Amino acid sequence: MSIFKSHISQMGAYKPPLEGRDNHQHLLLDFNERVLPVAPAVKQALIDFINDDQLQVYPAYGNITQKIADYCGVKSEQVMITNGSDQGIDLIIRSACQEGDEAIIPGPTFAMYHQCAKVENLNIIEPTYSRENGFPKQAVIDAITNKTRLIVLANPNNPCGTPVARETILEIAKAAPQAATLVDECYFEYTRQTVCDAVEEYPNLLVTRTFSKTWGLPSVRLGYVISRKENIDALLNVRGPYDVNQLAVVAIDAALSNPEYTQEYVKEVIEVSKPMLEAFLDKKAIKYWPTVANYIWVFPDNPDAMEKHIRASGILVRPKLDANGRKGLRITLGNKRQTLKLEQCLSSFEIN
Ligand SMILES: Cc1ncc(COP(=O)(O)O)c(C=O)c1O
């Protein structure tokens, strides 16, 4: 007999396929990461911190929250830093929901929402995205009941790259004032679409963001939540005082002081690599979902063979199933050189 709550013992762990990933051996197009190293100033800041013998001291966050708030154009009292946006998602769900509540999580989507919702033993309602119709707006609105305590809106969604229009997000938040409306802006820098300016007007709106993707720092784990002060204060009652490690704060402080590294990368990915790969896929008549993010979900006739071929060339991509169980390959966009490498590899693959 388990000492844990029965639904916890019955759950599965969230296990991303990390085995064998080595960026010195592979071109990693499987986790939507930045595919280039970070700014030298970020590396130097970490080295300086270590050499300054500060590792034995507990974390103190200084003005990092203010710096992030300035970057986002909100007040610092509207921001809480977290151990990756995964922690923000977890804290919001834990703090807003209890066993038996309903959670609307359009899918297929990022696994962490389900993981956290299952820990709380929520009833998950999953309207589905489609390539043709995008975000299932009406199904989400129709699913709202007086038991709804959570609505997840990933903007854009992972794995499909589908955006949710600002008016739609606000309409949904208004239609379910009793529910935490969690808007995941993990890929914000690629889209520049945000509702963080609306958190004061919409008391149930919570935005999560991260330094893991565009900023290239998933290893140090820093995310943040933006919401009205009352919500941030409540979430701070749950977050631990040292949940964010000091190396993350040092690295992100330096990254924010060198934003051109991020901006230039985003520009190349969105303005060069994305149209390049889309044109290539069109020419090869390989179907893919329209995307606004740094990844493209492609649906070749033979995804397993294609993945094997790509892997044999030292490139990793991520297989993902659509709502009908059909397998596609989610391919992260890198810079122009990396996209050319991928195209060369795909050119030597027999499509049918
Ligand atoms: C939509 C989405 N949200 C959140 C995350 C997690 O980000 P973090 O590394 O900040 O926990 C990911 C990572 O893949 C993601 O795709």
286 closest CA partner among 316, 319, 328, 314: 328
Q: Of the candidates 257, 279, 305, which is a domain's last residue?
A: 257
157 closest CA partner among 195, 221, 105, 203: 105
- 309 and 336 together in one domain: yes
State yes or no: pLDDT of 93 exceeds 70: yes
State yes or no: pLDDT of 351 exceeds 90: no
Residue 137 lies in a domain: yes
* CA 186 / ligand 1 centre spacing (Å): 6
Q: Is the CB of 85 under 6 A from ligand 1?
A: yes
State yes or no: pLDDT of 66 exceeds 60: yes
Rounded CA separation 139/174 (Å): 16
* CA 48 / ligand 1 centre spacing (Å): 28
Residue 115 lies in a domain: yes
- 252 and 317 together in one domain: no
Note the pLDDT tens digit of each residue in 220-255. Answer: 999 999 999 999 999 999 999 999 999 999 999 999
pLDDT of residue 1: 80
State yes or no: pLDDT of 67 exceeds 90: yes
% of the chain at pLDDT higher than 90: 96
Over range 281-292, report the average pLDDT: 97
Report yes or no: 317 and 350 within 8 Å, Cβ to Cβ.
no
Q: For residue 321, which amino acid is it?
A: L
Rounded CA separation 333/274 (Å): 7
Tell me, what CATH number does 95's domain have? 3.40.640.10
Report yes or no: 293 and 158 within 8 Å, Cβ to Cβ.
yes
- 300 and 341 together in one domain: yes
- 270 and 135 together in one domain: no
Rounded CA separation 245/220 (Å): 8
Q: Of the candidates 234, 257, 280, which is a domain's last residue?
A: 257
Angle at 323 between CA 319 and CA 326, to 5 degrees: 45
By most ligand atoms within 8 Å of CB, the mutation choice from 112, 157, 188 for ligand 1 is: 112
- 248 and 298 together in one domain: no
Residue 148 lies in a domain: yes
Beta bridge partners of 330: 297, 318
pLDDT of residue 298: 98
Residue found under tokens 């529910």: 179
| CA-89 nearest atom, ligand 1 | 4
pLDDT of residue 258: 93
Q: Is the CB of 300 under 6 A from ligand 1?
A: no
Residue 2 lies in a domain: no
State yes or no: pLDDT of 31 exceeds 60: yes
Over range 146-174, report the average pLDDT: 98
pLDDT of residue 19: 85
Torsion sign over Cα 159, 252, 266, 136: positive
Q: What is the DSSP letter of 120?
A: T
- 53 and 178 together in one domain: yes
Residue 8 lies in a domain: no
Mean pLDDT over the full length of the chain: 96
Residue 11 lies in a domain: no
pLDDT of residue 350: 72
- 107 and 217 together in one domain: yes
State yes or no: pLDDT of 352 exceeds 70: no
Q: Is the CB of 210 under 6 A from ligand 1?
A: yes
Residue found under tokens 């935490």: 180
pLDDT of residue 61: 96
Report yes or no: 190 and 155 within 8 Å, Cβ to Cβ.
no
- 217 and 153 together in one domain: yes
Over range 319-334, report the average pLDDT: 97
Over range 203-210, report the average pLDDT: 98
Tell me, what CATH number does 32's domain have? 3.90.1150.10
Task: Supply 265's token pair.
Answer: 């990368």
Q: For residue 205, which amino acid is it?
A: L
Q: Of the candidates 214, 231, 257, which is a domain's last residue?
A: 257
- 108 and 144 together in one domain: yes
- In which band, very low, low, confident or very high, does the pLDDT at 184 lie, cut at 50, 70 and 90? very high
Domain that holds residue 280: 17-38+260-347
| CA-157 nearest atom, ligand 1 | 1
Q: Is the CB of 106 under 6 A from ligand 1?
A: no
% of the chain at pLDDT higher than 70: 99
How many structural domains is the chain composed of? 2
Residues 6+ apart with CB under 8 A from 13: none
Question: What residue spans of the chain are helical by DSSP H?
Answer: 6-10, 40-51, 64-72, 84-96, 111-119, 137-143, 166-175, 188-191, 229-236, 246-257, 260-268, 274-283, 303-312, 336-347
- 232 and 275 together in one domain: no
pLDDT of residue 181: 98
* CA 207 / ligand 1 centre spacing (Å): 13
Burial of 241 (C-beta count, 10 Å sphere; 0-12/13-18/19+): exposed
